[in-house]
Amino acid sequence: MDKKAVRGWILYDWANSAFATTMIAAVMPVYYDKVAGKGLEGSLASVYWANTQSIAMLFVALLSPLAGAAADLLGSKLRFLITFTLLGAVPSSLMAFAGEGDWFLASCLLVLGIIGFTTGGTFYDALLRDGIPENDRHKVSAQGYAMGYAGGGLLLAVNILMIQKPEWFGFADSTAATKASFVTVGIWWLLFSLPLFLNWKEPRPERMSGPALRRVGRKAWQSMRRLGETLRSLKRYPELLKYMIAFWFFNDGISTVIVMATIYGSSIGIESSDLILALLITQFTGLPATLLFGRLVSRFGAKRMLMYSLAVYLVIVVLGYFMTNQLHFYILAFMVGLVQGGSQSAARSLYAGLLPAGRSGEWFGFLALSSKFTSMLGPLVFSIVGTLTGSSRTAILSVAAFFLIGMVLLSLVDFVKGALQAEQAELPGAAAGGSGFGA
């Protein structure tokens, strides 16, 4: 194992998490509402932000099979990671050119950034499988996750200081400092990606010729056909099917809270400095809370702890409807930090326990792609409700439905039975069986 390459892989999470914190969760949502969306009436800024998230994830879902097939056939996941890193980092810095009323430009740049961040992440994950021994993967993966919390939180803290004390950095005002913070995201992302890009070794990739491109197209089509076959085979795993549908709902609720929380707070009048500080609270609460959550899972079980965490999210959404001041937002941000990492970790481990042996890659790939499609629904529902009611408060309350439905469906899943179904379905001559949601 190349230690320099592994350190580079870990550091990449430090690098790209700056986009997640500054561009998605904290600074950019406030800027979109107050500056880029200036002049938009009522809750239109929140609605347009939600639409931007949905459109971006639609592009990601459509692009992923083609990009994955190309990387497999051309033999260079690193090349594609570099490409999508540039696609994410450059628009992040260019966001500095989006001024008052430039919501359309801001949305276009954000769509490109999300495509680069999300699609690039799939190739980053693939490098973990390809270049790190199996016995070390869990440890290295956890180190990367921790570095992501630290790196994203550190740059966010610097950006907060820039925005609150612009004169310390030579900026005329907070708006100029905010634009500069977008530039720092692109530079930070590219700079700390270099150790991975320079030290990770791959065989020389195949040249992008006409025959190679045609093979990529065929490979992408075959990938889509395999996804269809995977979907049809779900009837052999009824407990897995129930869990996946539950996951689509509650995961969409979680992702909607992440991408909509700050712009919602801005739309109801909470100051930008308070919103950004609250997101910093979430970031630094998340690391120790996730470690504690893992210990509680060992004691009480993953399903019970996941249910508890979703109940906390449900309370967060309902309290968010009644939120009126910065103290409320601080409290809710702290609550999100308590359950955000732990809920996602428990959800992944529960899913893994329902998968047939030897097919985990196939099923995790299916979950990743299907989740990209369903993750459009939360922001879309927020947008529709906000448009129909003219109220972002009603829109945020609508997200509660995703947690309620997800919790109900999760309660119906028998994980012991599901693990047995996965084992038996792989035996020669095993009949497709099992009941549907009545199990």
Instruction: Find which of 59-68, 229-238, 291-300 is predicted with most confidence, using mean pLDDT.
Output: 291-300
Q: What percent of the chain has pLDDT over 70?
A: 84
For residue 82, count other CB atoms closer than 10 A to its CB.
17
* pLDDT at residue number 301: 87
φ, ψ of residue 437 to 5 degrees: the values are -75, 0
Q: How far apart are alpha carbons 164 and 173 in whole angstroms?
A: 9
Nearest to 261 by CA among 392, 112, 375, 153: 392
The domain limits of the chain are 1-199, 228-426
Is 80 exceeded by the pLDDT of residue 37? yes
Query: Among 130-139, 140-149, 283-292, 320-329, which stretch is predicted with the lowest mean pLDDT?
Result: 130-139
How far is 123 from 346, CA to CA, in rounded Å?
23
Give the mean pLDDT of 177-199.
97
Q: Could you report the per-residue pLDDT of 385-413, keeping only the tens digit for each?
A: 999 998 889 999 999 999 999 999 999 99
Q: What is the pLDDT of residues 330-361, one digit of tens each?
A: 999 999 989 988 888 788 778 878 877 656 65
Fold held by 1-199 = Growth Hormone; Chain: A; (1.20.1250)
* CA separation for the pair 146, 149 (Å, rounded): 5
Residue with more model confidence, 65 or 92:
92
pLDDT at 421 > cutoff 90: no
pLDDT band at 375 (very low <50, low <70, confident <90, very high): confident
What is the average pLDDT across 76-81? 85
pLDDT at position 145 over 70: yes
> How far is 193 from 19, CA to CA, in rounded Å?
13
Which sign does the torsion angle of CA 357, 358, 359, 360 carry?
positive
pLDDT of res. 397: 93
Q: Is the pLDDT of residue 304 over 80?
A: yes
Q: What does the pLDDT look like over 261-270, one tens digit per residue?
A: 888 888 888 8
Options 1.20.1250.20, 1.10.645.10, 1.10.1270.20, 1.10.3720.10; CATH for 228-426 is: 1.20.1250.20
1-199 matches 228-426 in fold = yes
Mean of all residue pLDDT scores within the chain: 84
Per-residue pLDDT tens digits for 190-238: 999 999 999 998 766 555 556 655 665 665 566 666 666 667 777 788 8
Residue 437 clears pLDDT 50, i.e. is over it: no
**Residue 433, pLDDT score:** 40
